[in-house]
Amino acid sequence: MAKILVVDDEIGIRELLREILNDEGHDVVLAENAAAARTARQAGRPDLVLLDIWMPDTDGVTLLKEWAATGMLTMPVLMMSGHGTIDTAVEAIRLGALDFLEKPIALQKLLAAVKRGLQQQPVKTQAHLTLAAFTRSAPLRDLRKRLEQVMQKSRLVLLRVGAGALSELCARSLQPVGGGWLDLGALTQPIELHLLEANRGGIVYIDNLALLTRSQQRNLAFVAERLDKYDLRLIAAASCQPEELIQESWDALLVRRLFEVTLVPPSLLELKDDVPEIANQLLNHLIETGQIGRHTFSTAALNALRNIPWMGGFSELRSAIRSLALSALDNEIGPEEVNRFVSKSSAAALALPLDEPLRVAREAFERLYFEHHLKLEDGNITRVAEKSGLERTHLYRKLKQLGIPVGRKAE
């Protein structure tokens, strides 16, 4: 017996389909609009979905796009419409629908399509979320359009970021399906051509230019000269000014090329009102990829997440949500768990290891000290350097040594 979700705003059609499919031995769940369909999909993965195109709140094609972008299109979908066009049918199939059924649907055609759909192998969930997942956030929709527009004309874009950065999310959004991903910041050895060939057509990513070593800078220059040859796109993030890199002995020609095309994405600190949607989509994606069990956030929990300053940006929020879900005792995560998680994290930071050797205690204090001042200065590396009395270069190295994963701003 298969579980089938029927989504249609006409009650007569919903009930008729339920009766037919029940007679075939299937378990049928009904949804009258996209909102109800989202809830049903989140509650459990159906084996197949019958989805109407024309609905009052959100049309079926838009919902199909949303599921595809969030990694929730893991089941076959049959689109239905009483007045569809060829273009609509082609678009739905391109987005991942299995078939397009025109109303009124002949009984034999319906049963044949359902049988064919249930014989399909489940689709594997994509490993990473992209900006396309956040359909209800106007700033993130605009950011996605800007990124795509820039990358149509340039193979290289520099993201000017600070605390709360969305750098990796931006870069993942430009990664083609099945395309390669090469993180230059994680590569410590001289790069070889076979790596570029293996990632042909994909993305080369740098999380923070200022933290690249001399050998990694040489790798960057090597890759930048071969973007066209290997059909690669380079997305780098930086919080510093180009003059600062040149002062630190970067190659001036390379720096000028890197800063030719820049984009300033909004930070998670600026997207406070969008945090609940981002958190929900992250939670759903972690569920679909099997990293956590099935959980939901209460409205109060989402509000609590909204009021937290996510200095570490998207990666910090993702890590917090995964930790909350793994430690939750109930299926619904409430505000008290969010608040306890945040307060315990802060308390852990304050608990210095006084019984440990001096070196360990000193590193713990330095980590607490720099995290505190980075938060106070909204990630502005120049002001933190002035407060601590360190040169910026020394401060960059110290932060890397301490493993502090935060964005940094210059003046």
User: CATH number of the domain that 293 lies in?
Assistant: 1.10.8.60
Task: Point out the domain boundary residue: 241, 263, 285.
Answer: 263
pLDDT tens readout for residues 373-387: 787 676 778 878 877
Residue 407 lies in a domain: no
- Rounded CA separation 171/203 (Å): 7
pLDDT of residue 125: 62
Instruction: Assess whether 105 and 75 both reside in one domain.
Output: yes
Residue 230 banded pLDDT, cuts 50, 70, 90: very high
> Do 119 and 197 touch, CB atoms closer than 8 A?
no
The mean-pLDDT minimum among 23-32, 104-113, 119-128, 294-303 falls in 119-128
Residue 190 lies in a domain: yes
Number of Cβ atoms within 10 Å of the Cβ of 221: 15
Owner of token pair 């940094």: 408
Mean predicted confidence (pLDDT) in 248-265: 95
Residue 397 lies in a domain: yes
Instruction: Assess whether 336 and 370 both reside in one domain.
Output: no
Task: Point out the domain boundary residue: 118, 139, 154.
Answer: 118
Instruction: Assess whether 147 and 240 both reside in one domain.
Output: yes
Which two structure tokens, joined as six digits, stand for 404? Answer: 């502090």
The separation between CA 231 and the C-alpha centre of its own chain, rounded to angstroms, equals 24
Mapping DSSP to helix (H, G, I), strand (E, B) and coil, where does residue 335 land? Answer: helix
Which residue type sits at 278?
I
pLDDT of residue 348: 47
Mean predicted confidence (pLDDT) in 223-251: 93
Residue 410 lies in a domain: no
Diameter of the chain by CA atoms?
A: 78
Instruction: Assess whether 139 and 247 both reside in one domain.
Output: yes
Instruction: Assess whether 374 and 331 both reside in one domain.
Output: no
Instruction: Assess whether 136 and 153 both reside in one domain.
Output: yes
Burial class (CB in 10 A: 0-12, 13-18, 19+), 69: buried
79 CB-near residues (< 8 Å, 6+ apart): 51, 52, 53, 60, 61, 64, 89, 92, 97, 99, 100, 101
- Rounded CA separation 403/368 (Å): 12
Strand partners, 296: 332
Query: DSSP assignment of 9-45, as one string?
Result: S-HHHHHHHHHHHHHTT-EEEEESSHHHHHHHHHH--
CATH code, domain carrying 58? 3.40.50.2300
Across the chain, what does the average pLDDT equal? Answer: 87
List the domain range (segments joined by +) for residue 284. Answer: 272-350
Q: Which has more pLDDT, 407 or 264?
A: 264
Instruction: Assess whether 233 and 168 both reside in one domain.
Output: yes
Which two structure tokens, joined as six digits, stand for 356? Answer: 């440990």
CATH code, domain carrying 243? 3.40.50.300
Instruction: Assess whether 277 and 219 both reside in one domain.
Output: no
Residue 9 banded pLDDT, cuts 50, 70, 90: very high
Quote the number of domains for the chain. Answer: 4
Strands 156-160 and 262-263: parallel
Which two structure tokens, joined as six digits, stand for 349? Answer: 């930071």
Instruction: Assess whether 276 and 258 both reside in one domain.
Output: no
pLDDT of residue 185: 86
pLDDT of residue 395: 86
What's phi and psi for 21, nearest 5 deg? -75, -35
Number of Cβ atoms within 10 Å of the Cβ of 360: 13
Query: DSSP assignment of 267-325, as one string?
Result: PTTTTGGGHHHHHHHHHHHHHHTTSS---EE-HHHHHHHHTS--TTHHHHHHHHHHHHH
Mapping DSSP to helix (H, G, I), strand (E, B) and coil, where does residue 108 land? Answer: helix
pLDDT of residue 367: 79
Q: Which has more pLDDT, 57 or 322?
A: 322
Residue 126 lies in a domain: no
Residue 330: left if φ>0, alpha if ψ -120 to 50, beta else—which one?
A: beta
pLDDT tens readout for residues 126-172: 678 889 888 888 999 999 999 999 999 999 999 998 877 899 999 99
pLDDT of residue 187: 86
Closest CA to 201 of 173, 228, 165, 163: 228
The separation between CA 390 and the C-alpha centre of its own chain, rounded to angstroms, equals 35
Residue 123 lies in a domain: no
User: Per the confidence metrics, is the pTM higher than 0.85?
Assistant: no
Owner of token pair 């459990």: 44
Instruction: Assess whether 196 and 241 both reside in one domain.
Output: yes
pLDDT tens readout for residues 288-329: 888 888 899 999 999 999 988 887 788 889 988 999 999 999
Residue 371 lies in a domain: yes
pLDDT of residue 20: 96
Instruction: Assess whether 218 and 282 both reside in one domain.
Output: no
Which residue type sits at 161?
V
What's phi and psi for 221, nearest 5 deg? -60, -40
Residue 242 lies in a domain: yes
Closest CA to 48 of 1, 3, 9, 83: 3
pLDDT tens readout for residues 349-363: 444 556 666 776 777
Mapping DSSP to helix (H, G, I), strand (E, B) and coil, where does residue 160 land? Answer: strand
Percent of the chain with pLDDT over 70: 91
Closest CA to 383 of 363, 349, 408: 408
Instruction: Assess whether 184 and 253 both reside in one domain.
Output: yes
